Chains A and B, each alone.
Chain A
């Protein structure tokens, strides 16, 4: 089955900790994206990558970091510098210039 997987589904973090969210796709898409969703709001772009070993900041990159060492993987690290990290995080992928397809999401809660 082709698709996008995200893990874990639920993640709890203590204040001051870094956590990494996984995103994997087997669609052979070149581009991958990370979005943040807060209750009652639309999605906001954190980072995106159009090709391996390259990525760009989105609208709300502060407190987050990413890597793109492999085409199929685009992990997101939420650092302790992110002041309000509790949210629903969505990963997406696409062929360059084409429709984005989304994973099932990871819900992060800071305790």
Chain B
């Protein structure tokens, strides 16, 4: 089946610290991989994506590399800011037709000044 396993939170970091949020997946076929971010009380925003092995998605200083050999898509940022405090969701999509997304449970990040 299709599933996503995310690093459990919450994660608390000081400003300018390095961030890693782990994400591994199980999928039939060749999935596309996504990171979405949810700020308090809001919907999900697409942060970055990768559609094939070895692709690197990047946006706003965040990066994630599609690793087929380890079935992983870990999210990283070199220097976090207070404004990065949010819940981060890893997700995959395997069906070009239905395009349904399978989500991890989310990781809450809090960045303190």
Task: Report which A residues bind B (CB closer than 8 A).
Answer: 4, 6, 31, 33, 40-43, 45, 48, 50, 56, 58, 90, 92, 94, 96-105
Q: Report the minimum CB–CB distance from A50 to chain B (whole Å).
A: 7
Q: Which residues of B contact A (CB under 8 A)?
A: 4, 34, 36, 41-46, 49, 89, 93, 96-101, 103-106
Smallest CB gap from B46: residue in A: A99
Cα distance, A100 to B48, chains bound together (Å): 12
Residues of A within 8 A of B41 (CB): 105
Known: A42-B103, A43-B89. A99 touches B45 (CB 8 A): no
Given contacts A41-B106, A42-B89, A99-B49, are A104 and B42 in contact (CB under 8 A)? yes
Q: List 5 A-B contacts (CB under 8 A).
A: A33-B100, A33-B101, A97-B97, A97-B99, A102-B43
Instruction: List the 4 closest A-B pairs by CB distance, nearest first.
Output: A42-B103, A97-B96, A102-B43, A102-B44
